[in-house]
Structure 1
Amino acid sequence: MKNSTDLKTLLLAINHKSYPAYKDTRGSYQFPGYLLSIDHVQGDPFASPSKVSLVIEGRQAGFPAGLFDTSYKRTALCDYLTRIFAQKIDRYNFKAKGSGKSGLISVSRCGQEVLERTACTIHPRTGTLTVHLEVGFPANGRTINSSELIKILYDFLPDCVTSSFYYQKLNARQVAEVIYLAEDQEYIRSQLSSLGLTAFVANGSILPRESGVSSRPMRQAIPFQSPKSLEVTLELPHRGTLSGMGLRKGITIIVGGGYHGKSTLLKALELGVYNHIKGDGREYVITDPTAVKIRAEDGRSIKKTDISLFVNDLPNGKDTVSFTTEDASGSTSQAANVIEAMEAGTSLFLIDEDTSATNFMIRDELMQRVVHRDQEPITPFLERVRHLYEAYGISSVIVAGSSGSFFHIADRVIQMDRYLPRDITELAKEEAKAFPALTLPGKLPAAPSFLRTPGYSSSVKGNSRVKIKVMGKDGISMNKETIDLRYVEQLADSEQTAALGYMIKYAECNLLDGKKDLRTIVDLLEQLIRQKGLAAVTESSYLPSNLAMPRRQEIFACFNRYRGLSLK
């Protein structure tokens, strides 16, 4: 095997040559303490940076097995190490000089959520660490400046690697605290169902965020405090006794004046499907991991989706058992989102009235008297929400600011008052008696059909040069097709969006045969990734450094919004 001396000799030999000579460096080189691989070399200094990976053998990294013996511990540990490494390389970023991206050193920038990423992985048995990063190979114009790359690979990088990925160089107490927090979070999540809960919000949590563009906690925000009637006390493995608000299964309505924290609480619940880092303020906001935020999504495409639970007898005679449109209305899009979430296996709907189609959510008694039920093709969610819970076990948390009709069907009503929750269930129920009770349709609906079989897009199938472009969390471009994900609000990181692009491409090239239904395809994707990691779906000579694992629910959402995909 080549070693670091061989690489340095090569770099000195190609100095001042034309930039393509850098491609001769591709390969693996043994450095003291780790193996460095140059996996992909950029075409010129202005192109996407070169891909570099590091492998630190488990016996050298030295992490005790108890820190990585479960998947959630491995995710937490690798997240922590990635954050440490990112801080270290920031000191050297662009310290090597040159044109374009020369001197760039980058790794995933982790947000407040703890996600499984390709940036850093640890082998479950050996403890061997693999790190993926990007480096801008330096040049003057398009002439190689290898002396600057030597600085990066022989001075900057070894310092960062040594202080980031060796257990003996780290603060053992801080590492242990990361794992302890992950164990406590996992314990809460594992207890939700047996306690009859859909979510838990710890007392003292800080729910408001710093700003609309920052997910860090707001300074001097009011700490969350559960009403006594909803308080649940847990005994965590490491934190010990922890009390907070337990949201029980069933139908929960959240009300309150404007700017009192209704949507802030719902947003925390949306992202409570992920673990959060220490200091985030939402470390102990834990939500059913299958929860899905449901909203209206005007203009989205819908393919062969059974929305007959909510929409029937359209004036144009359009089929709602296998509903298809390229330009959905607010109501039909929200109906499709509900059915698709059921298909993905959700146990909890999260709904904000502000982002919902009014005619999908509710029709009050006066409107029903003026426009009779048999003249209205939409059965509102309000009339189906109890059936969804009793027949399918799907709970709902609904933020309602304008209609008290929800009080009739609620199991509990929570009022947010200056960011503090109050249990007003008895008051709401008592006041609701003075108003007409909800009239439910007598006939129970048939169960929706989920057996949809996707075909493939001709622009992708058999095309080995499919270009995937990630547009932040907003969507993915695949050749000429764009998958709009702007309203898939539980995507926490653009690296999840990137991973979805590779999954869709892999599925089209390998799984979509016109015989497997969508559930089977997603099952196969998840099984492949569990066995071989995200590398399996990239089908690349090198593993991209910037992928993060999305949830099953977002994989379904991506398929469902892919206009180029045929479904039957």
Structure 2
Amino acid sequence: MKTKDDLLRMLRSIDHRGYPAYKSLAGSYDFGTYALHIIHVQGDLFAAPSDLEVSVKAANSHWPAEACGRYETRVALQDMILRRFSAGLNQVSGKAGGSGKSGNLSASRPGQEILDRSACQLDKEGGVTLRFYAGFPAAGRTVLAGELEKMLFDYLPEVVRKSACAAAWKKETVRDVLNLAEDQACLRSELERLSLCAFVADGAILPRESGISQRPLKDALPFRSPDEDRITLQLPHHGTISGMAVRRGITLIIGGGYHGKSTLLKALELGVYNHIAGDGREYVVTDETAVKIRAEDGRCVSGDDISLFINHLPNHKDTTAFFTDNASGSTSQAASVVEAMECGARTLLMDEDTCATNFMVRDELMQRIVSESDEPITPFSDRMRLLYEKAGISTILVAGSSGAFFSQADTIIQMNQYEPKDVTEKVRAIVPFPKQEKSPSVSVSPKEDRRYPRPGSDFREERGRVKHKSLGTDGFLIGHGETDLRLVEQLADKEQSECLARTFLWMAKGGMNGRRTVAALADEWEQTFRREGFGMYRENGPVSGSMAKPRKQELAAAISRCRGLIWR
């Protein structure tokens, strides 16, 4: 490894030369406390910025080894470090002069969720790797070495010192972050022990600032659980905490419009992730396998067995291995339920507003007019109890216009001016429970024996690599083929989409060979990630600093929606 003095000499030697001279700086340099790695240098000042890394050994960073050795606390520390590092770069970005993107410094900017991100990685001993981007300065297309010297020798060292080294942090700040991570891990273990789908703490702030901001709404009414559903738990650091237990089975969330039904469900769908202190949802946790289901008109469906819900279609299409490039609301939703089951979901989340009505329910008058033999759809209302009793799959459903679900529900929560009330007994006095399942002999075991994907022509290499592009949370492109993820609503961050695209490239080189199911591919990826982390993507070049780990449920959803795959 070269020294920082070597970098300084090289930098000064190319001053006022043409922009391509910056390419000679690629390499690793010892800055004493840390090493600077110039991974990729941009082609010109208007191109995507250069990729850089900083690595700090554990002997210099001094992060607690015990916290770094546990995944939950390690990710919380990474998130804390990255937030300060990113903010520090933002403060000095643009101070160096030049044209175009000269002087820009940036790193991943986390949102409200605490995600495992490639931009900041701690190893189990406490060593830190930070990945970021820099716009190398130029006047026109002429190197401005003095300006890059300011960036790398004046601005960057101070930002690294203040963020990557434990000595620069208040002990109380680090302690609070670790304590919250341990409390959240404890809450998640309590879900399993107590057979819960979710827990919503008293005092939680569920409404968000706006449709484009996930920050908590100011002056929002704090959540208060119904007495019938309130439980009290002991957390290792927070101590006693009370809140609403959402038990396994079938839970309805009802109420008038604008009373907070969908707000509660949205908090539950994102409760599969931990949230930062001050978010308001720190102690809202949901079964980590929970999947939000909705209608997705126009999506592709590739070989799903949707016969649990749809049979004897007029066009004689086989619903035990259903293929379409343009699914209806009902077939898309049936496919999504089956795909979630295949991937091990134990909880389904639904909002009546975004579901296909004919998939969800069929009222008595319609049954009298259209005979059962003429209706290919068995509605979800007739299957939800079967799913729970035979497959252990719970449902949390927001219902605002139909009472057809009442007879199936174990718990009914009414939202009234953002306050939840348990009205189960009130409903029971009107509607008996349970309603007898029409077809108790029906199998609910998912069949994946015809869902074996392999890469299609979109995965063809050009100049030694497969082109890909992230489209934010809308999806990604592989070659010219788009995978549309706009309605995969638990994809919380655009960097998860980038990670999914790179995962597809990783799978295309091995596991996705037409002999493994979607669930097997997702499980293999998760196991590999546990062993190797983001290092698993090095085969496709340097590790990008713009990735965040998705859940395997979102990976399975992406595979099923990718139009560039061949299925058998």
The alpha carbon displacement at 1:350 in A equals: 0.3
C-alpha distance in structure 2 between counterparts of 1:329 and 1:307, whole Å:
13
**SS of the residue aligned with 1:405?**
coil
Which residue of the partner structure matches residue 376 of structure 1? Answer: 375
Write out per-residue CA displacement over residues 428-464 of structure 1, whole angstroms, 9 at most, x where no aligned residue: 122225x996772464246331232112112315553
Q: Does 1:165 align with 2:164?
A: yes
Contact 1:408/1:438 (8 A) holds in 2: no
The alpha carbon displacement at 1:76 in A equals: 0.3
Give the partner amino acid of 2:75.
T
Which residue of the partner structure matches residue 354 of structure 2? Answer: 355
C-alpha distance in structure 1 between counterparts of 2:231 and 2:209, whole Å:
28
**SS of the residue aligned with 2:323?**
strand
Write out per-residue CA displacement over residues 119-142 of structure 1, whole angstroms, 9 at most, x where no aligned residue: 111111x21111100011111111
Contact 2:261/2:398 (8 A) holds in 1: yes
Which residue of the partner structure matches residue 59 of structure 1? Answer: 59
Give the partner amino acid of 1:506.
W
The alpha-carbon distance between structure 1 residues 270 and 256, as it changes in their structure 2 partners (threshold 3 A), is: same
Which residue of the partner structure matches residue 445 of structure 2? Answer: 447
The alpha carbon displacement at 1:490 in A equals: 0.2
Contact 1:331/1:357 (8 A) holds in 2: yes
Give the partner amino acid of 1:180.
N
Which residue of the partner structure matches residue 458 of structure 1? Answer: 457
Q: Does 1:183 align with 2:188?
A: no
Identity of aligned residues (%): 50
Contact 1:457/1:508 (8 A) holds in 2: no
Contact 1:405/1:438 (8 A) holds in 2: no
The alpha-carbon distance between structure 1 residues 436 and 173, as it changes in their structure 2 partners (threshold 3 A), is: closer
Query: In the comparison of the two structures, how many residue pairs are matched?
Result: 566
C-alpha distance in structure 1 between counterparts of 2:374 and 2:444, whole Å:
20
Which residue of the partner structure matches residue 341 of structure 1? Answer: 340
Aligned ranges 1:77-476 → 2 under 5 Å = 77-124=77-124, 126-433=125-432, 440-441=438-439, 443-445=441-443, 447-451=445-449, 452-463=451-462, 464-476=464-476
Which residue of the partner structure matches residue 498 of structure 2? Answer: 498
C-alpha distance in structure 1 between counterparts of 2:166 and 2:301, whole Å:
50
C-alpha distance in structure 2 between counterparts of 1:514 and 1:91, whole Å:
49
C-alpha distance in structure 2 between counterparts of 1:436 and 1:495, whole Å:
44
The alpha-carbon distance between structure 1 residues 176 and 89, as it changes in their structure 2 partners (threshold 3 A), is: same
Contact 1:34/1:56 (8 A) holds in 2: yes
Which residue of the partner structure matches residue 510 of structure 2? Answer: 510
The alpha carbon displacement at 1:543 in A equals: 1.2
C-alpha distance in structure 1 between counterparts of 2:185 and 2:437, whole Å:
42
C-alpha distance in structure 1 between counterparts of 2:50 and 2:203, whole Å:
44
The alpha carbon displacement at 1:553 in A equals: 0.1
Which residue of the partner structure matches residue 17 of structure 1? Answer: 17
C-alpha distance in structure 1 between counterparts of 2:494 and 2:469, whole Å:
11
C-alpha distance in structure 1 between counterparts of 2:429 and 2:485, whole Å:
42
C-alpha distance in structure 2 between counterparts of 1:411 and 1:492, whole Å:
30
Which residue of the partner structure matches residue 47 of structure 1? Answer: 47
Contact 2:470/2:498 (8 A) holds in 1: yes
C-alpha distance in structure 1 between counterparts of 2:479 and 2:540, whole Å:
17
Write out per-residue CA displacement over residues 278-301 of structure 1, whole angstroms, 9 at most, x where no aligned residue: 000000000000000000000000
The alpha carbon displacement at 1:465 in A equals: 2.5
Give the partner amino acid of 1:563.
R
Give the partner amino acid of 1:37.
H
C-alpha distance in structure 1 between counterparts of 2:405 and 2:512, whole Å:
42
The alpha carbon displacement at 1:68 in A equals: 1.5
Identify which range, 156-165 or 322-331, moves more after superposition: 156-165
C-alpha distance in structure 2 between counterparts of 1:26 and 1:438, whole Å:
70
C-alpha distance in structure 1 between counterparts of 2:70 and 2:248, whole Å:
28
The alpha-carbon distance between structure 1 residues 169 and 447, as it changes in their structure 2 partners (threshold 3 A), is: closer
The alpha-carbon distance between structure 1 residues 309 and 436, as it changes in their structure 2 partners (threshold 3 A), is: closer
C-alpha distance in structure 2 between counterparts of 1:50 and 1:24, whole Å:
13
Identify which range, 307-316 or 450-459, moves more after superposition: 450-459
Identify which range, 535-544 or 186-195, moves more after superposition: 535-544
**SS of the residue aligned with 1:549?**
coil
Write out per-residue CA displacement over residues 70-92 of structure 1, whole angstroms, 9 at most, x where no aligned residue: 00111000000000111211210
Which residue of the partner structure matches residue 553 of structure 2? Answer: 553
Give the partner amino acid of 2:541.
S
TM-score (normalizing by structure 1):
0.98
Please, what is the CA RMSD of the aligned residues? Answer: 1.4
Q: Does 1:531 align with 2:531?
A: yes
Contact 2:223/2:419 (8 A) holds in 1: yes
C-alpha distance in structure 2 between counterparts of 1:482 and 1:555, whole Å:
15
C-alpha distance in structure 1 between counterparts of 2:215 and 2:557, whole Å:
27
**SS of the residue aligned with 1:490?**
coil
Identify which range, 531-540 or 504-513, moves more after superposition: 531-540
C-alpha distance in structure 2 between counterparts of 1:567 and 1:343, whole Å:
16
The alpha-carbon distance between structure 1 residues 193 and 546, as it changes in their structure 2 partners (threshold 3 A), is: same
Give the partner amino acid of 2:43.
G
Give the partner amino acid of 2:518.
L
Contact 2:385/2:437 (8 A) holds in 1: no
C-alpha distance in structure 2 between counterparts of 1:182 and 1:448, whole Å:
35
Give the partner amino acid of 1:89.
L
**SS of the residue aligned with 1:121?**
strand
Give the partner amino acid of 1:548.
A
Contact 1:365/1:436 (8 A) holds in 2: no
Give the partner amino acid of 2:300.
S
The alpha carbon displacement at 1:49 in A equals: 0.5
Contact 2:461/2:467 (8 A) holds in 1: no
Contact 2:340/2:553 (8 A) holds in 1: yes
Identify which range, 419-428 or 59-68, moves more after superposition: 59-68
The alpha carbon displacement at 1:225 in A equals: 0.2
Contact 1:103/1:135 (8 A) holds in 2: yes
Give the partner amino acid of 1:207.
L
C-alpha distance in structure 2 between counterparts of 1:119 and 1:338, whole Å:
34
The alpha carbon displacement at 1:64 in A equals: 1.7
